Structure 1
Amino acid sequence: MELRRNRGARALALVCVLGGVLLLVYPTDGALLRTIIAVGAIALGAVALVSAMRPFRFGIHAEGLSIRRPGLRREIGWAEVDALVLDEPPRRDGHPEPPRLLLVPVPGVTIEPVTARHPLDGRPAVELLVLDQVREQPEQVSAALAQYAGSRFVDLLALRRAAFEAPELSVGLRGYQMDRVDRLIRRGQDALMSGDASARQAARGEIERATTAGLPIAQRGYSTFQTDTVLDALVTALADHQSTDRETAT
């Protein structure tokens, strides 16, 4: 499977350049400010355009990965791969970050640059791809990696959704601080996904303590009613799993 580069960045870069040129061609009052804005737009667009025009290849095949992008040009055989993880970084101010593909090489194999960590065990990892760079959907990339990489590949996006699918929370004035809520939900999802009873108990305790003490309020935040409902459901899911663990043990 050959992934295709997303052309959205190239289009945006062209818009910046053309917009800057138009500002220079049709001067009006406030010419100095317009010139500064125009030059800035052209420079920004030119940098983005150069980046978008660089060679790009990302192939997923039976033999391994074929990668050609800024910072990494290499054929990586499956024998060099210890783990591949499709993960989504924590949200920022309620906005989802694009999924990314991380690789942990087998001991003794060096693949640079090492700029990330395995989200579950903290091992040094290489960020191979941010999925907003390609046109394929995460599900398509995941299917190809599952087919060719086998047990080396873990789709944390799918596993988290299967463990506990949190709905999109409404954002409004005077709501719960979004980063804090997102961290608690991620904590609970990871605990459910881990299969570790002690991790689930610890996550449940952390969520209960946070809600009992009162989640911090922000000028713009998540709906308090929706958040309370979701966190209650998450605590229940964590407790249900612990009950199952006890029944299995007896």
Structure 2
Amino acid sequence: MRPDDHGVERGYDMELHRNRGGLVLPLACVIGGGVLLALPGENALLRRLVAAGAVLLGGGVLVGLLRPFRFVIGADGLTVRRPGLRRTIPWAQVAALALDQPPARNGLPSPPRLLLVPAPGALGDLPVDGRHPVDGRAAVELLDLGRVREQPAEVAAALTRHAGDRFVDTLGAGPAEDRSGDRHRTP
């Protein structure tokens, strides 16, 4: 256990890490485009346009992948630092959390996501972009689990440990006794 600023044992925090597997293709585009731009040649306008396009496209994707990211599940709440959201959300401002599988898009399965239902009167500035899978309340998508290295079961275990009854795992990623979404289903 790790002590807080006052020397009190608070439990283990879990920090999620961005999945860096998507860096290879944009990096190859930037390097390949740079090499093509550096090659000498007359009347190579099309090649230079394609190379410049590859550098710009790959560079844009790299910038997006290298933007600041932090997601910590801890005893005091959630610390979120991602594009569009930078704050610490104390547990008192969380009415519910759900690990959910969104519907498939174009026949391809979507990665799981973490949805947050704010407590009444809290976090009113966050954009509502989802619904709680059990009761349909307006929710905010906090995290796309396809973009982090940790497995949904690890995230579910940390949320169960810190969020308690606020958390519902509709994926069934955690142990059976931790799946509070099962008790809401009718046989």
Structure 2 counterpart of 1:139, from 145, 153, 173 = 153
| Cα deviation, residue 30, structure 1 | 8.7
* Structure 1 stretch displaced more, 122-131 or 4-13: 4-13
- Amino-acid identity (%): 58
Aligned length in residues: 167
Ranges in structure 2 where 5+ consecutive residues have no aligned partner: 1-13
1:195 partnered with 2:185: yes
Structure 2 counterpart of 1:92, from 105, 117, 120 = 105
CA distance in 1, matches of 2:45, 2:153: 49
Residue matched to 2:6: none
Q: Please list, as runs of the form range in 1=range in 2, the aligned pairs for 1:177-188 lying within 5 A after superposition.
A: none
Structure 1 counterpart of 2:168, from 145, 154, 175 = 154
CA distance in 2, matches of 1:136, 1:64: 19
Q: Please list, as runs of the form range in 1=range in 2, the aligned pairs for 1:1-250 lying within 5 A after superposition.
A: 1-26=14-39, 31-110=44-123, 111-158=125-172, 194-196=184-186, 241=187
Q: Can you list the C-alpha shifts for 1:182-229, whole angstroms capped at 9, x where unaligned?
A: xxxxxxxx9x87423xxxxxxxxxxxxxxxxxxxxxxxxxxxxxxxxx
| Cα deviation, residue 28, structure 1 | 7.4
CA distance in 2, matches of 1:45, 1:55: 18
Contact 2:133 2:170 in 1 (8 A): no
Q: Can you list the C-alpha shifts for 1:66-102, whole angstroms capped at 9, x where unaligned?
A: 1111111111111110110111111123321111111
The structure carrying a bigger helix percent of its residues is 1
Contact 1:3 1:57 in 2 (8 A): yes
CA distance in 2, matches of 1:8, 1:29: 37
Bigger Rg, which one: 1
Judged with a 3 Å threshold, the aligned counterparts in structure 2 of structure 1 residues 36 and 121 are, in CA distance, closer, same or farther, namely farther
Q: TM-score, normalised by structure 2?
A: 0.78
CA distance in 1, matches of 2:170, 2:78: 20
Contact 1:9 1:48 in 2 (8 A): no
| Cα deviation, residue 39, structure 1 | 1.9
* Structure 1 stretch displaced more, 9-18 or 63-72: 9-18
Q: Can you list the C-alpha shifts for 1:212-248, whole angstroms capped at 9, x where unaligned?
A: xxxxxxxxxxxxxxxxxxxxxxxxxxxxx4xxxxxxx
Q: TM-score, normalised by structure 1?
A: 0.60
CA distance in 2, matches of 1:102, 1:33: 46
| Cα deviation, residue 43, structure 1 | 1.1
Q: Can you list the C-alpha shifts for 1:79-126, whole angstroms capped at 9, x where unaligned?
A: 110110111111123321111111000111025132222233332211
Ranges in structure 1 where 5+ consecutive residues have no aligned partner: 163-189, 197-240, 242-250
Contact 2:114 2:143 in 1 (8 A): yes
CA distance in 2, matches of 1:2, 1:26: 44
